[in-house]
Chains A and B, each alone.
Chain A
Amino acid sequence: MTVPLPFGLLAELTHRCPLACPYCSNPLDLDGASHELDTATWARVFGEAAALGILQVHLSGGEPAARRDLVEVTQAANRAGLYTNLITSTIGIDAARLERLRQVGLDHVQVSIQDSLADSADTIAGYKGAHARKLDFARAVVGAGMALTMNAVVHRANIDRLPEIVEAAAALGAGRVEVAHVQYHGWALHNRAALMPTREQVDNAMATIEHIRGRYDGRLVIDLVVPDYYARRPKPCLGGWGRRSLNVTPAGRVLPCHAAETIPGLEFWSVRDHSLADIWAHSPAFKAFRGTHWMREPCRSCDRRDIDFGGCRCQALAIAGDAAATDPACDLSPHHALLLDLAEQASSGAMRYDYRGGRRGVAPPIPAR
């Protein structure tokens, strides 16, 4: 099989973050600051990425601004010829730092929004005052003439206010809002019982967005997808394993997706020991589920095997107990009914969060109908 060229690189610059969101996609075991790649190594990785065919780099974390060299790292990505997207909680970036980022060629900024109500948003983020700071920062980004996407992470406590969240993004002057249903890996899997929305909530939210979408034509692009637990067909995880993108962890391990380390037995290579091109083509973790050779039934003979590539390997492992199984989000999976049961059960769980970092707390109240 010829190995396709990747388009995107998720650069997790650090796992450090001032926020403590209970759905954080970082692993439960975080890389410590002393293990983080240095500026020069990131610059080398960006050069190798561009040569390999990567066009866009997503500077993420943790909170990327927790790194003192964020401007230098961004500049290195820009100089390598990459389109740079900064995914930030905004904590740690003042107006002067934003201006320096703009000057070194930052192309796009993505800020997550936890809710339309400040108190609820701060409770979800586990950080007092985060919401107001995010709104101020978002306005500063737009004011500086830069492109802004607001990322609305939705779950049981806030999904009923999705129209208000979308309106907030429009009012800020964002060009795009991305409605991201919590994906149940890492901290989110741990907190699933407090995060999972009911089916009714999801159906209502999706229908409402379709209803109001026209209001925002030409002003705000609304991107959203049906969450896995209530879907009939799986999504091609990141466009297929080892097909379109890769992820570099703070310590330099290269993963096909951010949750891949939850799969036991996979061997990940590091940018400290290998070039990115070598890792992409030859590392055992990328070869394990690239293409269709690893599939079993019902995927193996399915006419959608080259469309969704069997869905998400990490979800197959988490629900079916086998990373090579069909993603249970697919209704052809023998575990699909189990997934629905799990979702239904979880959606009536206690509204208590285990915050990333270990604190515990009560989730914001769900609005009455």
Chain B
Amino acid sequence: MPELSRIALPERPRLAAGVRLHFDRARQAWVLLCPERIIEAEGPANEILRRCDGSRTVGQIVDELAVIYAAERTEIEADVTDMLADLAAKRLLTA
């Protein structure tokens, strides 16, 4: 596992080519479809992923999540950047 702190985050993250958010009707759940991989994408993960559209900055995504979950911004920020760094390390995000 790469060290997440070494991964640079795109300024306005967008799902990479070959990666898409999909509603799995058979299981009634959101998933992220990726090359040779399927990742569960329910709850906060879903809220983050659906905002990775290349138009929002990481800061804006954090702001929006803080409103939805009525939580401390610093707490949300840590969760969002961890998740985005993990996705970037797996090459699932692009600038």
Contacts and interface: CB of A to CB of B under 8 A. Distances in A.
A147 B24 contact: no
A107 B92 CA distance: 13
B19 A147 contact: yes
A217 B35 contact: no
Category for how many chain B residues contact A:
20 to 34
Interface stretch (B2-10, B44-52, B69-77): B2-10
A108 B18 contact: yes
A118 to B, nearest CB: 26
A53 B2 contact: no
Contacts of B38: 7, 55-56
A217 B6 contact: yes
Interface in B7-54: 7-8, 16-20, 22, 24, 26-27, 31, 33, 35-36, 38
A107 B89 contact: no
A55 B36 contact: no
B91 interface: yes
B33 A56 contact: yes
B5 to A, nearest CB: 11
Interface stretch (A67-75, A218-226, A257-265, A284-292): A218-226
A20 B66 CA distance: 57
Interface string A174-193: 01101000000000000000
A365 interface: no
B58 interface: no
A217 B24 contact: no
B27 A83 contact: no
A55 B29 CA distance: 12
A53 B31 CA distance: 12
Given A218-B8, A221-B90, A175 B36 contact: no
A176 B16 CA distance: 12
- Name, among B18, B35, B88, the residue most crowded by chain A CB atoms within 10 Å (CB to CB): B35
B31 A55 contact: yes
B20 A219 contact: no
B35 A108 contact: yes
Interface residues of A, number: 28
A219 B27 CA distance: 33
Given A218-B89, A220-B91, A107 B8 contact: no
Nearest to A141: B17
A85 B26 CA distance: 20
Contact of A107 (B7, B20, B27): B20
A169 B26 CA distance: 36
A55 B2 contact: no
A214 interface: yes
Given A108-B35, A217-B89, A145 B17 contact: yes
B27 A5 contact: yes
B35 A176 contact: yes
A175 B6 contact: no
Contact of B27 (A53, A85, A217): A53
A362 interface: no
A52 B91 contact: no
Contacts of B36: 85, 108, 110, 149, 176, 178, 223
A337 interface: no
A346 interface: no
A51 interface: yes
A146 interface: yes
Interface string A186-223: 00000000000000000000000000011001111101
Given A221-B90, A221-B91, A149 B35 contact: yes
Nearest to A221: B91
A51 B33 CA distance: 17
A146 B17 contact: yes
A219 B17 contact: no
Contacts of A178: 36
Given A147-B19, A147-B35, 8 more contacts: A52-B26, A56-B38, A107-B20, A108-B35, A176-B36, A178-B36, A217-B2, A223-B36
Interface of B: 2-3, 6-8, 16-20, 22, 24, 26-27, 31, 33, 35-36, 38, 88-91
15 contacts: A5-B26, A7-B38, A53-B24, A55-B31, A83-B20, A83-B33, A85-B36, A145-B17, A146-B17, A147-B17, A149-B35, A176-B91, A217-B3, A217-B89, A223-B36
